[in-house]
Amino acid sequence: MAKAPSRYPAALIFGAPGAGKGTQGEILTRVPGFFHLSTGVIFRKLDPQMEEARQISEYCKRGELVPDELTVSIFRNWLEGRRAADKFRPKEHLLLLDGIPRTVNQCKLIERYIDVKLVLYFECVDMEVMVDRIRRRAVMEGRPDDASESVTRKRLETFERETTPVLNYYGDSLIRRIDSSGLPAEVLAGCLQQLIPVLKENFVFE
């Protein structure tokens, strides 16, 4: 039996809140060969009675990033739990990371066990489109952290200030720009065009 990689091959689904990352991640995780992992989903699934969950909720309500060490610790525990449950199979799945890393420090913290092969940068130049998407998501999915427009705009500002430097960390050679303002099917086609070569290079499918 082939040994699991010491570092998990991964592609980052990267972009501002409301850029469409979660939608595409949920679609792609149904395609053999991909495993989508969203820190936002992980945070919302935590037991609300846990101290960590309460801390995260307070940061999200203010539109602030969750501290790096806490984010990475929860992310890694969740990922290894999925592996232990045979949901994530590192010899078969390319990780699609959504919501991590969000700072350069997080890039460094995950580098010991995550091998970033590609960064899919979801670009949506119209901020109002993203604000509207988040507003609709708050209603449809019952997400209180998305309900306040002022918090949403603060999250977008935080992304520009604290998260866009992640692109410089990985460099132009790994970045593939995706126009996320089109139809979901168009965005999906663009994602697959970039991801399929990574699958072929890193995994063997029989």
Residue 173 lies in a domain: yes
Residue 167 lies in a domain: yes
Q: What is the mean pLDDT of the chain?
A: 85
Residue 112 lies in a domain: yes
User: Tokens 């801390």 appear where?
Assistant: 55
Residue 206 lies in a domain: no
Q: What is the CA radius of gyration of the chain?
A: 16
Residue 191 pLDDT greater than 80, yes or no? yes
Q: What is the pLDDT of residue 55?
A: 87
In angstroms, what CA-CA distances link 33 with 40, 86, 92, 103, 167?
A: 22, 14, 6, 27, 25
Which candidate, 129, 148, 131, 107, places its Cα nearest to that of 12?
A: 107
Residue 2 lies in a domain: no
**9 and 202 Cβ atoms separated by less than 8 Å:** yes
Domain containing residue 119: 8-201
Residue 1 lies in a domain: no
Q: For the chain, list the strands marked E by DSSP.
A: 8-15, 34-38, 94-98, 114-123, 175-179
Q: How many domains does the chain have?
A: 1
- Mean pLDDT over 138-150 rounds to 60
| Residue 2's pLDDT band (cuts 50, 70, 90) | very low
Residue 22 lies in a domain: yes
Q: What is the pLDDT of residue 190?
A: 95
Residue 47 lies in a domain: yes
In angstroms, what CA-CA distances link 19 with 31, 58, 136?
A: 21, 23, 13
Q: In CATH, what number is assigned to the domain containing residue 32?
A: 3.40.50.300
Q: What is the pLDDT of residue 59?
A: 83
Residue 204 pLDDT greater than 80, yes or no? no
